[in-house]
């Protein structure tokens, strides 16, 4: 028999990385919030790689932090090693990545959740959504508890009808041995949602004591670590090394000989997997010309001997996994502690959600994370904070926060999935971002902290500190314009020592910094009276000066982008009545309901000629 268990402003279903950020944002905005999880021990769990960040993903974490989220702060407290990736390339594509102590990460995040005002945490499975007149009313759990709510956020990860697959063995299950959520999918179907079947996978975990580390290459992180959180300047940590090994022809022979036992090739796997994270058997087939593949051996924490085999995701049978791992130099006697597996799960087709992450079918119902067809902890957390902010805004009858392609990676992510949809788990990359020179990881605070402050997630103290930092950067840029370097013998000799061209005329230090091989510290010999700046300050000065001309070009492109975004399309427009629109365009436009011409132009199946037809139609509407 059902019973009323309480009333909340916002209920968050699922306590993974999306759910934690969503619940914290909602509670911190003053909403009475309930966070439901299948298992309290799975809160903020990392069922796959033991790391936070990576190419493109590091940008997301810094943006989450800039908005007032928690992921960056927690990884700063719990990492084992940290690196800035792509340092040989430009600043736009440089991203932070940190190896995490997985259990410690969970413990720290759980402690934060448990000690946040307005937030209750309960171990319950949500099995049904209560909806009246197209509006969310609450949630029913497996124990028949009924929780009333003004808004609900589903952050179900890979648990919806989860199915574990290892060779010819398959069973109902969630990641890391947690049981799945088998009933909520039916509730979503009953409400009219179109569901996708997706797949992901994870490598085996092996015993550290069974590895011969004399045969693998040691990999250290950065000596000078850049924190994920803008609130941290320096970090104390106990660095743990990672290791690099390689597959070989023997490895590939074992895998090829057992492809007939792979559910990936036998058809036993129905779901679509992430293109950019293929299993080792998929790599062997797709890249048959490669003699070897990299394998990173990564620690899972200080309190365990489990090691994660990055790059070796697999759904082959357990005996085959052990056989091919033991062909790798250094792993000849390796022992598997957790076998690799694939997992299939339900997700919703993401064009059914708005840019606010509220669903189009049910008012007050939001979704975030892998249920929206994305992959990765960082993509999930990024959606989680936006959903939490907007659920709270919905409850308080405030306008939603809409991030866009010109101000954040989060905006690109949400725009991509809601406008373009996805047929495979979506992963963030820097290449997806048109204005990436403006949307760097180093300036995420300048871009988004004012928004976090407006949304009530950033303190007055932090906001004022940002404004002070911003002023110091601008003041130094202006000062450098006034510091002149004359083309005399002494100065030209110093320039030659810096491997740059001597001067023929007087220039400013500001102009000198635009040269490729010159950085801020190199100019000290020409600038005796410079102020003492912190590393983050002078690096920001340097970046803004070096890329000024390119950034100005991107700003011009942004103006054109915004002009298209400002051409709003009526919410009740009937595209079937617009002559000259192609049939496919009508179908796509009616389904996705873009808010403006810019969004319409990014829909697959809507051509430039269709956009011209819409522009003409808008003119007619105004006449």
Q: What is the mean pLDDT of residues 447-463?
A: 98
Fold match, 3-200+345-454 / 566-622: no
List the structure tokens of 343: 């997992």
Residue 39 — pLDDT band, cuts 50, 70, 90? very high
Alpha-carbon gap, residue 321 to 318, rounded angstroms: 5
**Nearest CA among 108, 132, 85, 93 for reference residue 24:** 108
pLDDT confidence of residue 271: 64
List the structure tokens of 418: 């809601």
pLDDT confidence of residue 263: 85
Q: What is the pLDDT of residues 335-364, one digit of tens each?
A: 999 999 999 999 999 999 999 999 999 999
Token pair 């589903």 is found at 154
Provide the Cα torsion 140, 144, 148, 149; round to 10°: -30
Q: What is the pLDDT of residues 505-529, one digit of tens each?
A: 999 999 999 998 899 999 999 998 8
**In the chain, % of residues over pLDDT 90:** 92
Residue 470 — pLDDT band, cuts 50, 70, 90? very high
195: which residues sit within 8 A by CB, 6+ positions away?
185, 188, 189, 346, 347, 348, 349
Q: Confirm whether pTM is higher than 0.85.
A: yes
The three-state DSSP-derived secondary structure of 393-448 is HHHCCCCCCCCCCCCCHHHHHHHHHHHHCCCCCECCCHHHCCCCCCCCHHHHHHHH
CB atoms within 10 A of CB 117: 9
Token pair 């990299």 is found at 294
pLDDT confidence of residue 276: 67
Q: What is the mean pLDDT of residues 206-222?
A: 97
Q: At residue 375, does pLDDT exceed 70?
A: yes
| CB burial string 121-131: b at 16+ within 10 A, e below | bbebbbbbbbb
pLDDT confidence of residue 230: 97
- Indicate the angle between helix axes 57-67 and 71-78, nearest 10 degrees: 110
Contact of 198 with 45, CB cutoff 8 Å: no
Q: What rounded mean pLDDT belongs to the chain?
A: 95
Alpha-carbon gap, residue 154 to 175, rounded angstroms: 17
Contact of 197 with 344, CB cutoff 8 Å: yes
pLDDT confidence of residue 622: 82
pLDDT confidence of residue 268: 66
Domain residue extents for the chain: 3-200+345-454, 205-341, 471-554, 566-622
Q: At residue 273, does pLDDT exceed 70?
A: no
The domain 566-622 having CATH identifier 1.10.150.570: the answer here is yes
The domain 3-200+345-454 having CATH identifier 3.40.50.720: the answer here is no
pLDDT confidence of residue 623: 73
Q: What is the mean pLDDT of residues 263-290?
A: 79
Q: Give the pairing of strands 365-367 and 145-154.
A: parallel
Architecture per CATH, domain 471-554, reads as Orthogonal Bundle (1.10)
205-341: CATH, from 2.40.50.140, 2.40.30.260, 1.10.287.110, 1.20.1250.20 = 2.40.30.260
What is the DSSP track for 533-563? --HHHHHHHHHHHHTHHHHHHHHHHHHHHHH
**Share of the chain residues as helix, strand and coil, in percent rounded to the nearest 5:** 40, 20, 40
Provide the Cα torsion 554, 560, 561, 564; round to 10°: 180
**Nearest CA among 395, 288, 400 for reference residue 353:** 400
């Amino acid at each position: 028999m059902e019973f009323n268990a309480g009333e909340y402003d916002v209920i968050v279903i699922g306590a993974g990385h999306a759910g934690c950020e969503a619940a914290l944002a909602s509670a911190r905005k003053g909403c009475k919030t309930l966070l439901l999880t299948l298992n309290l021990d799975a809160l903020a769990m990392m069922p796959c790689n033991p790391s936070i960040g990576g190419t493109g993903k590091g940008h997301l974490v810094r943006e989450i932090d800039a908005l007032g989220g928690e992921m960056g702060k927690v990884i700063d407290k719990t990492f084992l090693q940290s690196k800035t990736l792509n340092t040989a390339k430009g600043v736009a594509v440089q991203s932070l990545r940190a190896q995490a102590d997985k259990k410690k990460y969970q413990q720290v995040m759980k402690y934060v959740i448990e000690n946040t005002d307005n937030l209750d945490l309960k171990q319950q499975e949500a099995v049904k959504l209560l909806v009246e007149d197209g509006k969310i009313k609450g949630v029913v759990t497996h124990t028949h508890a009924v929780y009333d709510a003004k808004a609900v956020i589903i952050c179900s990860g890979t648990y919806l009808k989860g199915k574990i697959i290892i060779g010819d063995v398959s069973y109902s299950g969630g990641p890391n041995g947690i049981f799945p959520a088998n009933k909520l999918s039916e509730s979503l179907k009953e409400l009219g949602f179109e569901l996708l079947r997706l797949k992901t996978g994870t490598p085996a975990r092996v015993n550290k004591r069974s590895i011969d580390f004399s045969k693998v290459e040691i990999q250290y992180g950065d000596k000078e670590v850049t924190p994920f959180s803008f609130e941290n300047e320096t970090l104390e940590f106990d660095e743990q090394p990672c290791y690099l090994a390689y597959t070989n022809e023997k490895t590939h022979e074992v895998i090829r000989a057992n492809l007939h036992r792979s559910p990936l090739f036998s058809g036993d796997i129905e779901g679509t997997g992430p293109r950019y994270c293929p299993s080792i058997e998929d790599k062997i087939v797709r890249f048959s010309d490669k003699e070897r593949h990299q394998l990173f051996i990564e620690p899972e924490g200080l309190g365990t001997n489990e090691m994660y085999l990055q790059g070796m995701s697999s759904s082959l049978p357990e005996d085959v996994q052990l056989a091919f791992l033991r062909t790798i130099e250094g792993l000849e006697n390796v022992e598997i502690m957790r076998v690799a597996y694939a997992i299939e799960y339900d997700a919703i087709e993401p064009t059914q959600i708005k840019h606010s992450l509220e669903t189009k079918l049910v008012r007050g119902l939001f979704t975030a994370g892998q249920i929206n067809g994305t992959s990765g902890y960082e993509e999930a957390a990024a959606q989680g904070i936006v959903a939490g902010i907007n659920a709270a805004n919905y409850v308080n009858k405030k306008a939603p926060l809409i991030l866009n392609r010109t101000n954040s990676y989060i905006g690109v992510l949400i725009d991509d999935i809601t406008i373009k949809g996805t047929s495979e788990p979506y992963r963030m990359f820097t290449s997806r971002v048109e204005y990436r020179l403006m949307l760097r990881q180093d300036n995420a605070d300048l871009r988004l902290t004012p928004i976090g402050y407006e949304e009530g997630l950033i303190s007055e103290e932090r906001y004022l500190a940002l404004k002070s930092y911003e002023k110091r950067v601008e003041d130094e840029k202006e000062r450098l314009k006034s510091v002149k370097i004359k083309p005399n013998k002494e100065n030209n000799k110093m320039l030659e020592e810096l491997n740059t061209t001597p001067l023929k005329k007087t220039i400013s230090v500001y102009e000198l910094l635009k040269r490729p091989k010159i950085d801020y510290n190199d100019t000290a010999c020409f600038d005796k009276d410079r102020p003492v700046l912190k590393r983050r300050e002078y690096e920001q000065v340097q970046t803004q000066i070096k890329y000024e001309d390119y950034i100005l070009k991107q700003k011009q492109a942004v103006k054109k982008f915004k002009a298209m975004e400002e051409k709003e399309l009526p919410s009740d427009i009937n595209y079937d009545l617009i002559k000259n629109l192609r049939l496919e365009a009508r179908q796509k436009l009616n389904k996705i309901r873009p808010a403006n011409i810019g969004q319409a132009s990014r829909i697959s199946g809507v051509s430039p000629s269709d956009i011209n037809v819409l522009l003409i139609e808008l003119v007619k509407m105004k006449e």
